[in-house]
Amino acid sequence: TLKVFVLTMMRYPNVEQKAHALIDAVIGSKGLPTLDDRLSLPYIEAILKQTLRWKPVIPLAFPHRTTVDNVYKGYFIPKGSTVLPNSWQCLQDAGDYPDLENFLPERFCDSTGSILLNDAPKPRQFTFGYGRRVFPGRYFAENILWLNIAALLSVFDIRR
């Protein structure tokens, strides 16, 4: 995910510059951003969400097994069938994410710059799994990703 983030910042310098300016405005010269600053930096949160959505590291989720017979869009799925969720497809739905080929963190922000709470699929849900097989370290992993992204954006000018 961090590799995707760095490569993306090289491709979208306007996103990197905006994030850098926002970090400077909130943090100033007091040091690196910490988790205490997370709520004050919603654009960094949006960059993390967009990175997870745009190029998921694991495009297919862990297999699940159906517990009852089911019919989905006219297809019969018998009890005990193995189902392999396609996380990549869920995060590439143009109905949920217009202009999905472009890296647009703003899609996760409202008009005031706050994180948007809508019904679109949440990238972290597909990144870290769901149900009984959800990744138990998901909150730790997400915090580490946020800290790394915020630190990289606050210290470096990422260029080609």
How much is the pLDDT for 79? 96
Residue 153: the pLDDT is 96
* Closest alpha carbon to 93 in 124, 121, 63, 125: 121
Q: Return the pLDDT at 82.
A: 95
pLDDT at position 145 is 96
Across the chain, which has 160 residues, the per-10-residue mean pLDDT values are: 94 95 92 94 95 87 89 95 89 87 91 77 77 82 96 92
∠ CA 44-54-36, rounded to 5° = 20
